[in-house]
């Protein structure tokens, strides 16, 4: 199957949130995982202070349709593309949308690869995005291998 990967960073429009942030996140994740399941799209979403950074993986047409949906979501603006390219494999094969809130800075203080995602004036580069998402992809893979070994 031909695979495509898109990754972008976007600013959050707080005035467009309809619910308190934790409820808005829960509701949105429930909704997007349902849509992504139908579209065969997987990926990860990181909340970073005033931004979100998201990676989307799947068939090229489905990924591009999803990017289009995201671009039209009133809760986001100032979208900056970081990665748009064919992919050989999925970084998040089993995640309809993996989510981590990095706003408290704890994960970033423990893992240097996450620091470039924290708010700073410059762009997030392709390499920085791959290192950060690779960190979580590896964490998930290790968890799966441990579960397999323990037959959980
Ligand atoms: C942070 C964020 C991430 C999103 N991720 C996805 C996604 O992975 N897949 C998708 O189809 N839509 C995604 N969207 C888009 C919205 O979920 C979608 O446009 C919205 O739910 C529209 O559907 P509705 O108005 O029918 O609920 C995302 C939106 C936001 C704000």
Would the pLDDT of 43 be above 90? yes
Mutation choice for ligand 1 from 58, 69, 90, CB with most ligand atoms inside 8 A: 69
In terms of residue numbers, what domain contains 55?
3-150
Output the pLDDT for position 62.
98
Question: Which atom of ligand 1 is nearest the CA belonging to 76?
Answer: 31
Q: List the single range of 20-34, 94-108, 119-133 with lowest mean pLDDT.
A: 119-133
4: which 2 tokens? 């495509």
Output the pLDDT for position 87.
98
Surface-to-core class of residue 132, CB atoms within 10 Å of its CB (0-12 exposed, 13-18 middle, 19+ buried): buried
Question: Which atom of ligand 1 is nearest the CA belonging to 56?
Answer: 8
pLDDT bracket for residue 147 (50, 70, 90): confident
Q: What's the CATH number where 123 sits?
A: 3.30.70.100
Would the pLDDT of 148 be above 90? no
Look at residues 91, 74, 86, 78 and name the one whose alpha carbon lies nearest to residue 140: 91
Instruction: Work out how many domains the chain is built from and give that number.
Output: 1
Question: Which atom of ligand 1 is nearest the CA belonging to 35?
Answer: 11
Contacts of 61 (CB under 8 A, 6+ apart): none
Output the pLDDT for position 144.
84
For the whole model, what pTM was predicted? 0.94
Measured in Å, residue 149 CA sits from the centre of ligand 1 at 36
């Amino acid at each position: 199957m031909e695979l495509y990967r898109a990754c972008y960073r976007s600013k959050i429009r707080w005035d467009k949130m309809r619910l308190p942030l934790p409820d808005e996140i829960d509701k949105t994740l429930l909704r997007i995982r349902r849509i992504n399941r139908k579209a065969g799209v997987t990926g990860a979403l990181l909340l970073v202070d005033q931004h979100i950074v998201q990676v989307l993986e799947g068939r090229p047409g489905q990924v591009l349709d999803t990017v289009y949906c995201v671009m039209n979501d009133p809760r986001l603006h100032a979208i900056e593309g970081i990665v748009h390219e064919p992919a050989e494999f999925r970084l998040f094969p089993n995640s309809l949308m993996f989510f981590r809130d990095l706003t408290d800075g704890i994960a970033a203080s423990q893992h240097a690869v996450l620091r470039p995602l924290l708010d700073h004036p410059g762009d997030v580069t392709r390499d920085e995005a791959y290192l950060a998402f690779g960190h979580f992809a590896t964490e998930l893979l290790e968890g799966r291998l441990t579960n397999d070994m323990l037959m959980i």
